[in-house]
């Protein structure tokens, strides 16, 4: 699961719930969460700070796709008619991704300061890299910190799984907003997600790179990683919340080392806490809000929804609604 947990977030950039206190007729009510019939779509019904109706639609996304990943007319209408649209990154920052990534790559060369990660890998690991990359290309990657080549390597799992990051729902919604001259706000800043990509100091990045190489160079491990990606995607297509929850929770529980636990904390815990606070404010602001972000943040033990339920700030409904 180590490849899986890093992959879905890395590719999001490179390809490219609630806290509320409402008063209505002097009675306090909790926002109500219901699962809609559409794939990975939830509805939060509540009231704003003035006691008026406030609705939030949460479309859980997956950062990979194929031809089966289509958006229904109903979901498209909800997106276009919303008073505000919220993705993981704001639309005005998407235009900065190329420049920011180039800047990050230059910084990586400077940070590497002529260190060569190959000197810290085993003979077997280096032999694997030589079998994957042409000599000239490998020499170029050696100029950067280890995270750069690690991203390239993990991408191979997606290719083998037959999935395409450019067909992700996040990309679809950003393009739909652009086509209709609409903007989207972000739950994360671009820098937040870039920091996830280049997570760790040199030694920590070497650990991640070594794990990736070991997994990809072992036929059984590579097959396992590919199947994990396929399982996640098929579970998403089937709207199987239980299965996705199991996969996500398993990836968190399998983190044994301090570095893995720290990595999971910034990906899951810290962001879920932040998103919950932001979504609470959107509910207070009123109107209709459409949120599209990684489904993994809204399922499982420590999801955004679970956090709010534990804090007695969200009422979960077992029913599935068509409305």
Q: Are 59 and 289 in contact (CB under 8 A)?
A: no
Q: What confidence tier does 9 reach under pLDDT thresholds 50, 70, 90? A: very low
Q: How many CA atoms lie within 13 A of 224 on its CB side?
A: 12
Average pLDDT for the chain: 88
**Side-by-side strand order, sheet with 315-321:** 185-188, 84-89, 287-294, 53-61, 41-47, 32-36, 315-321
pLDDT value of position 320: 58
Q: How far apart are CA 35 and CA 303, in angstroms?
A: 15
- Which range has the worst mean pLDDT, 89-103, 117-131, 147-161, 304-318? 304-318
pLDDT value of position 301: 87
Instruction: Answer whether residue 26 shows pLDDT above 60.
Output: no
Mean pLDDT of 254-263: 85
Three-state SS for the chain is CHHHHHHHHHHHHHCCCCCCCEEECCEEECCEEEEECCCCEEEEEEECCCCCEEEEEEEEECCCECCCCCCCHHHHHHHHHCCEEEEEECHHHHCCHHHHHHHHHHHHHHHHCCCCHHHHCCHHHHHHHHHHCCHHHHHHHCCCCHHHHHHHHHHHHHHHHCCEHHHCHHHHHHHHHHHCCCCCEEEECHHHHHHHHCCCCHHHHHHHHHHHHHHHHCHHHHHHHHHHHHHHHHHHHCCCHHHHHHHHHHHHHCCCCHHHHHHHHHHHHHHHHHHHHHHHHHHHHCEEEEEEEEHHHCCCCCCHHHHHHHCCCCEEEEEEECC
pLDDT value of position 20: 28
Mean pLDDT of 234-259: 90
Q: How far apart are CA 35 and CA 58, in angstroms?
A: 10
Residue 59: what are its φ and ψ, rounded to 5°?
Answer: -100, 105
Condensed to tens digits (0 to 9), the pLDDT of residues 183-205 reads 999 999 999 999 999 999 999 99
For residue 89, list its beta bridge partners. Answer: 188
Identify the domain containing residue 145 by its residue range: 2-321
Q: What confidence tier does 27 reach under pLDDT thresholds 50, 70, 90? A: very low
pLDDT value of position 14: 45
Q: What confidence tier does 322 reach under pLDDT thresholds 50, 70, 90? A: low
Mean pLDDT of 218-236: 92
Instruction: Answer whether residue 257 shows pLDDT above 50.
Output: yes
Q: How far apart are CA 200 and CA 107, in angstroms?
A: 14
Q: Are 279 and 17 in contact (CB under 8 A)?
A: yes
pLDDT value of position 292: 98
Condensed to tens digits (0 to 9), the pLDDT of residues 49-63 reads 999 999 999 999 999
Condensed to tens digits (0 to 9), the pLDDT of residues 72-123 reads 999 999 999 999 999 999 999 988 999 999 999 999 999 999 999 999 999 9
pLDDT value of position 16: 45
pLDDT value of position 160: 86
Question: What percent of the chain has a predicted confidence (pLDDT) above 90?
Answer: 71
- Say how many domains are in the chain: 1
> What global pTM score does this model have?
0.88
Residue 49 structure tokens: 């700070």
More confident residue, 115 or 1: 115
């Amino acid at each position: 699961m180590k490849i899986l947990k890093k992959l879905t977030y890395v590719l999001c950039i490179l390809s490219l719930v609630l806290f509320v206190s409402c008063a209505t007729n002097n009675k306090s009510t909790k926002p109500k969460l219901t699962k809609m019939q559409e794939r990975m779509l939830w509805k939060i019904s509540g009231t704003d700070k003035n006691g008026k109706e406030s609705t939030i639609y949460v479309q859980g996304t997956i950062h990979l796709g194929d031809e089966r990943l289509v958006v229904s007319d109903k979901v498209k209408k909800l997106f276009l008619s919303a008073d505000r649209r919220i993705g993981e990154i704001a639309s005005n920052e998407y235009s900065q991704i190329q420049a920011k990534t180039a800047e990050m790559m230059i910084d990586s060369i400077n940070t590497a300061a002529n260190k060569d990660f190959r000197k810290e890998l085993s003979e077997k690991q280096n032999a694997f890299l030589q079998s994957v990359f042409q000599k000239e290309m490998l020499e170029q990657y050696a100029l950067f910190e280890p995270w750069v080549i690690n991203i390239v390597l993990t991408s191979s799992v997606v290719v083998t799984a037959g999935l395409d990051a450019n067909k992700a729902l996040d990309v679809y919604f950003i393009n739909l907003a652009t086509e209709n001259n609409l903007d989207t706000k972000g739950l994360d800043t671009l820098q937040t997600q870039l920091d996830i990509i280049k997570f760790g100091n040199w030694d920590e990045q070497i650990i991640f790179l070594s794990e990736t190489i070991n997994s990809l160079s072992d036929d059984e491990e590579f097959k396992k990683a590919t199947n994990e990606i396929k399982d996640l995607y098929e579970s998403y297509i089937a709207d199987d919340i239980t299965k996705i929850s199991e996969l996500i929770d398993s990836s968190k529980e399998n983190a044994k080392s301090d570095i893995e636990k720290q990595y999971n904390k910034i990906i899951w815990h810290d962001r879920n806490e932040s998103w919950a606070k932001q979504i609470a404010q959107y509910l207070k602001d009123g109107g209709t809000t459409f949120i599209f972000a990684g489904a993994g943040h809204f399922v499982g033990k420590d999801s955004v929804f679970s956090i709010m339920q534990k804090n007695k700030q969200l009422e979960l409904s077992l029913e599935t609604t068509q409305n």
